[in-house]
Chain A
Amino acid sequence: MNTIEANSVVMKKLLIFTVVMFVFGFALVPFYEKICEVTGLNNLLQADTLAENPQVDTTRLVTVELDANIRGLPWQFKPLQSSLRVHPGELVEVMYEVRNNSDREINGQAIPSYSPQLLAKHLKKLECFCFSKQVLKPNETRRMPVQFVIESGLPTDVNTVTISYTFFELAGATAATSTPKGTQG
């Protein structure tokens, strides 16, 4: 084999390797999602469990503000009350209302966001519409509950917290087949 042939063999191998690494970059996306799912690093969309005997701290009140957003959906989405005051440790249920204004069936998935950030550690959600996708028929309106406890471990300097949800459309999904894939990463 002369040098020119040998060179082109090496080049071909390296080009293949380059393409493989490019694909690997994209393969990291499902890989990270899987890792987050398996290790429970980012379990925003799974129900929490409560401690055996939750203590209600009746000496303090925390203001919980509720927020609702949509991203690129022909939906209306709002909490039925904009804020409430709760005792840490107390089980609370709030309602959200969502309405599909379009004349087609749409799959939506809600993703939560908390403020301040450390609320995520102290918020236990027993039930939430964000645990599964929501399929709304044309012009359907739905009321959906969220059940949660703010643990008494919440630092005492935090008096107001915000729980926010954003609905986005599960792209390309039809009502029958889709799963909330890609929402757990």
Chain B
Amino acid sequence: MAAVHDHDVAHAHDHHPSGMMRWMMTTNHKDIGTMYLWFSFIMFLTGGVMALTIRAELFQPGLQIVNPEFFNQLTTMHGLIMIFGAIMPAFVGFANWQIPMMIGAPDMAFARMNNWSFWLLPPAALLLLSSFFVPGGAPAGGWTIYPPLSVQMGMGMDMAIFAIHIMGASSIMGSINIITTILNMRAPGMTLMKMPMFVWTWLITAYLLVLVMPVLAGAVTMLLTDRNFGTNFFNAAGGGDPVMFQHIFWFFGHPEVYIMILPAFGIVSEVIPTFARKPLFGYSSMVYATASIAILSCIVWAHHMFTAGMPVTGQLFFMYATMLIAVPTGVKVFNWTATMWRGSMTFETPMLFAIGFIFLFTLGGFSGVVCAIVPIDIQVQDTYYVIAHFHYVLVSGALFGIFSGAYYWLPKWTGHMYDETLGKWHFWLTMIFFNLTFFVQHFLGLAGMPRRIPDYALQFADFNMISSIGAFGFGLSQLLFLYIVLKCIRGGAKAPAKTWEGGKTLEWTLPSPAPYHTFETPPVVR
């Protein structure tokens, strides 16, 4: 009897519900990380289909495929889906998989809350997407949901507001979890300044999230009450001020763009040293640079509003503060370059994406400095120049970082090597088509093509056609990524524990694939 009892106890620990219930009820950080990553990939394809519909409409001048109202819904939803559905959850997925393994913790601090943070996302995404099917359609005033348009729209806007509330709650819970895990659950001997750079960037990102996500929640709550309960926060004809929404929104919005890029900085800071086989150059300056970027990001919001009406003093302050961010960002770029300097570099797919990241993100950074200059910004505000700028930092920045990290850690997650040849194909196709899509948009913007329009003047036709061809190539290349990941999950060469020769962080001391439970006895870091 005693023996049977012991047997049960021994197995109780490893016994999981199977099938769907395993995923519904899991509190394991690796399961949750996987779900985050798949969710974000599905959202990436969803937002991608919207982007391709946009580009198909813009292939030629004139209205061919969608009507202008639906076009505006597409641009708005593309932005919202990619930001809140694709990029942010992807990084939370990385955080879930990697942070406990990199700091030697057995799991996240609040495992059950972790499950809850993830499972809030699919209903929120469904709510957001189903707004397409209600009278009036999805929100169509741009992802920044400025009043007065967002106050006047149909009930699709209310659904979007609730979706943002739910996603925001999910982000805040995820951040609380990440901060607590990092602060309290590091292996003995791992001081803050010994943490891997990826963990550092996520710690700072998580702080930014709890700082600004509640402010966004407040802003959309005010929109909601303006729409439904007769308040007049943003209605000029009721004593409110529409410009004030822009101030509150961008108080969230600008830190948000760093929320989407800092974890990518972290991934690149892991990948570059591994494949250059040298320690990260200037580790502590990297930490301080990340922190300075985060702090500066909170005082530059009004550079999104130079044309909204602002005294010259204000414009000057926000212009200089914005340019100041180029300094810590430059520190990071130089440190990555210095890490590669005289390293024994090899160019596996993660490294290719990391180098592509440095190259193209820096370009996006430069066009950002251009946009920060007030007189130029007044010229390029709401043109394709701005579209080109933020796709250079969000696609070739955040997304390339995600691809780099995915290839880097896939062998650890699946236990198999991915197909290196196909990975290289994926990189080069992505790189070429990305630039084909977005580089020409700089020229379109400088020539004056406004954003968020379904039709355009004839002189923009050639560049738009090039951009659309690039977009379809880019979109299709991502199906190759899906194939590579599926192939890697199903089989492939066995990945050794230390997949990459230069890998120095704790996860490479674990077998591949990483066991379901890891570091239940913490490792000792010297």
Residue ranges of A at the interface with B (Cβ–Cβ < 8 Å) = 3, 6-7, 10-11, 14-15, 17-19, 21-26, 28-29, 32-33, 36, 39, 41-42, 69, 71-72, 109, 111, 113, 166, 168, 170-171, 180, 182-183, 185
10 extra A-B contacts, CB within 8 A, seeds A18-B172, A18-B214, A28-B247? A3-B184, A7-B110, A14-B179, A21-B212, A22-B217, A26-B222, A28-B244, A113-B236, A182-B232, A182-B239
A69 adjacent to B240 (CB under 8 Å): no
Chain B residues lying within 8 Å of A19, measured Cβ to Cβ, are 214
Please report which residues of chain B, range 116-135, place their CB below 8 angstroms from some CB of chain A when the two chains form the complex: none
* A25-B214, A25-B217 known; A168+B237 contact, CB < 8 A: yes
The listed residue (B184, B219, B233, B238) touching A10 by CB distance below 8 A is B184
Residue interface mask B175-196, A partner, CB < 8 A = 1: 1100110011100000000000
How far apart are the CA atoms of A67 and B236 in the complex, in Å? Answer: 16
Q: Given known contacts A42-B241, A109-B239, is B230 in contact with A171 (CB within 8 Å)?
A: yes
A71 to B110, CA, bound (A): 50
Q: Which residues of A contact B238 (CB under 8 A)?
A: 71-72, 168
**In the complex, what distance in Å separates the CA atom of A26 from the CA atom of B184?**
32
How many angstroms between the C-alpha atoms of A19 and B214 in the bound complex? 7
Q: Tell me the nearest residue of chain B to A3, going by C-beta.
A: B184
Interface size grouping (class) on chain B: 35 or more
**B185 to A25, Cβ gap below 8 A?**
no
Instruction: Flag B199-223 by CB within 8 Å of A: 1 or 0 each.
Output: 0000000000011111111110010
Residues of A within 8 A of B233 (CB): 29
- B185 → A minimal CB distance (Å): 7
- A185 CA to B508 CA, complexed, in Å: 56
CA distance A168 to B235 in the complex (A): 11
Decide if A7 touches B239 in the complex (CB within 8 Å).
no
* B19 part of interface (Cβ distance < 8 Å): no
Chain B residues with CB under 8 A of A166: 236-237
State the Cβ distance, B126 to closest chain A Cβ, in Å: 25
Decide yes or no: A168 and B311 within 8 Å by CB, A14-B210, A18-B172, A28-B251 being known contacts. Answer: no
**B105 — nearest CB in chain A belongs to which residue?**
A3
B184 contacts across to A, CB distance below 8 A: 3, 6-7, 10
Given A11-B180, A28-B251, are A111 and B110 neighbors across the interface (CB < 8 Å)? no
**B150 nearest CB across to chain A (Å):** 16
Residues of A within 8 A of B222 (CB): 26, 29
Contact between B185 and A3 (Cβ–Cβ < 8 Å)? yes
B 140-174 to A, binary, CB cutoff 8 A, 1 in contact else 0: 00000000000000000000000000000000100
